[in-house]
Amino acid sequence: MKELIRRAAEDLAAAGNVAALTGAGISIESGIPPFRGKGGLWERFDPMEFAHIDALMRDPAKVWKVLVREMKEIVDRAKPNDGHKGLAKLEARDRLKTIITQNIDGLHQAAGNTDVIEYHGTFAWQRCMDCHKKYESRKVDISEIPPRCDCGGILRPDAVFFGETIPAKAMWRSRQAAVDCDLMLVVGTSAVVQPAAMIPVIAKDNGAKIIEINPERTPLTDEISDYLIMGEAGEVINRIVAAMD
């Protein structure tokens, strides 16, 4: 691992334009549960019943009581961990430009990254279903469910629900970031779910080097990644940043 850490530090130092693709694995150490997989939220909640746009439109109070309130409370409390902070340090040193994330916790921005593309929107903000005004989630009072906008409309997370499309701007910008980068860090995601799955492929096709940081091998490992640094995001990124000093 030590050799790979040094190699990643050298590759980052030499790269002209670096992008990162992040997923649930980077936020687990901040207490954000993953949606998919073992221990994921979808083991406890049927997403079609609680995370589909039709369910939200039909009965917003029910969706708030079961899923959204819990997620809001988790995200409101969550703090960036070493993985997020390490990526913020890379941006501060001009070694990372754009983060494309599948996460909805807003922790990359909280850590200090300024160019974050959120594929699935965010639970860190709520928006009015009527007038679309946005409210910072942690400032939204939920003593009454569902919470409401000044205009009387119901608030919903500014996130993408099942049955909704990924924002076109996020799609376009992430594709562009993948084309433009010459190094991509893939952190805490196996990138098997579309549209995130195409991002490392586009980067690779356009000549970028792909460094994967994951606790285990993924479908990317043999096909796409130049190399895998096996471990938890926080520890690995910390060690890479330290090796760059």
Active site residues: 120
Q: Find the binding residues for Zn ion in span 174-213 (CB under 5 A).
A: none
Shorter beta-carbon distance to Zn ion: residue 92 or 151: 151
Shorter beta-carbon distance to Zn ion: residue 30 or 126: 126
Q: Both tokens of residue 228? A: 């895998």
Q: Is 69 exposed, middle or buried (0-12, 13-18, 19+ CB in 10 A)?
A: middle
Is 112 among the residues that bind Zn ion (CB under 5 A)? no
Is 131 among the residues that bind Zn ion (CB under 5 A)? yes
Which range touches Zn ion (CB under 5 A), out of 13-21, 67-75, 131-139, 171-179?
131-139
Q: Both tokens of residue 241? A: 């940043």
Q: How far apart are CA 99 and CA 23, in angstroms?
A: 11
In which element (H, E) is residue 149 found? none
Q: Are strands 134-136 and 155-159 parallel, antiparallel or unpaired?
A: unpaired
Tell me which of 13, 48, 92, 151 binds Zn ion, using CB under 5 A: 151
Tell me which of 67, 128, 183, 229 binds Zn ion, using CB under 5 A: 128
Residue whose entry in the numeric block shows the structure tokens 């990924």: 166
Query: 154 - beta bridge partners?
Result: 148
Is 134 among the residues that bind Zn ion (CB under 5 A)? no
Kindly state the smallest distance separating residue 132's Cβ from Zn ion, in Å: 7
Shorter beta-carbon distance to Zn ion: residue 110 or 129: 129
Kindly state the smallest distance separating residue 156's Cβ from Zn ion, in Å: 11
Q: Are strands 98-101 and 116-118 parallel, antiparallel or unpaired?
A: parallel
Shorter beta-carbon distance to Zn ion: residue 20 or 149: 149
Q: What angle do CA 182, 188, 194 make, to 5 degrees?
A: 75
Q: How far apart are CA 168 and CA 173, in angstroms?
A: 9
Q: Both tokens of residue 111? A: 């850590």
Tell me which of 149, 208, 211, 236 binds Zn ion, using CB under 5 A: 149
Kindly state the smallest distance separating residue 137's Cβ from Zn ion, in Å: 15
Which range touches Zn ion (CB under 5 A), out of 76-84, 148-156, 186-194, 218-226?
148-156
Is 153 among the residues that bind Zn ion (CB under 5 A)? yes
Residue 230: how many CB atoms within 10 A of its CB? 15
Which range touches Zn ion (CB under 5 A), out of 6-14, 75-83, 144-152, 208-216?
144-152
Shorter beta-carbon distance to Zn ion: residue 150 or 245: 150
Say if residues 116 and 145 touch (Cβ distance below 8 Å): no
Binding residues (CB under 5 A) for Zn ion: these are 128, 130-131, 133, 149, 151, 153
